[in-house]
Amino acid sequence: MTDQERSEAIKRQVEYYFSRQNLLQDTFLLSKMSKDHYVDLSVIAEFKMIKQLTSDVELILKSIKDSDKVVIDETRKCVKPAANNERTTLILRNIPSSASEDSVKSLLKTVNVPTIVSIRADVGDNWFLSFETTEATKTAMVSSIWI
């Protein structure tokens, strides 16, 4: 693998880690985020796929510096997802994690929420629902107030 190919592979992998698709299910990475959504690059450097490409944090930095999907902080030690103004996740609280996905969907059908892209239970009786657009998420939020 050439240096250029390695750099591109690192960039693609880091961008994947911080993609909406991955963050919806990657509780470990989410647990490592600061309140401003930054993750220390040393954490990223320990991920299996990155370790296969490099152990050099400077190479990781160099590989992602021009990315439009991740942002490096001013200290050059942390990275976070690039700003995305789309808010497409709704959190429903106090619904038992033991409830079935079908029962949660049935409950939501009673208030006519838009089509759900993904749904999952999480710790503390919280359910995470994803929608296509910010508008669909707002509609679901207003509708779910009546549950």
Q: What is the CATH number of the domain that holds 120?
A: 3.30.70.330
What range does the domain containing 128 cover? Answer: 89-144
Tell me, yes or no, whether 70 and 103 share the same domain: no
pLDDT at 8 over 90: yes
**Position 134 confidence tier, pLDDT thresholds 50, 70, 90:** confident
One domain for residues 93 and 119: yes
Q: What angle do CA 40, 42, 48 make, to 5 degrees?
A: 120
Q: List, in order, residues 6 or more apart from 120 with CB less than 8 Å away.
A: 24, 25, 101, 127, 128
Q: What are residue 60's DSSP bridge partners? A: none
The SS3 of residue 87 is coil
- Residue 77 shares a structural domain with residue 22: yes
pLDDT of residue 5: 95
Please say which residue of 60, 81, 102 terminates a domain: 81
Residues 94 and 73 in one domain: no
Lowest-confidence region among 25-29, 58-62, 137-141: 137-141
Q: How far apart are the first and last CA of the chain?
A: 55
Helix (H) or strand (E) holding 30: helix 27-31
Per-residue pLDDT tens digits for 105-124: 888 888 878 888 899 998 88
Mark which of 65, 81, 97 sits at the end of a domain: 81
Round to whole Å and give the CA distance between 99 and 96: 5
Confidence class of residue 84 from pLDDT cuts 50, 70 and 90? low
pTM: 0.60
Cα radius of gyration rounded to whole Å, the chain: 18
Q: How confident is the model at residue 144 (pLDDT cuts 50, 70, 90)?
A: confident
| DSSP-H helix ranges across 47-129 | 48-53, 57-64, 101-109
Write out the DSSP string of 12-29: HHHHHHTSHHHHTT-HHH
β-strand pairing of 118-122 with 78-81: unpaired
Check residue 146 and give its pLDDT. 64
Q: Are residues 11 and 73 in the same domain?
A: yes
- As for how many domains the chain has, the answer is 2
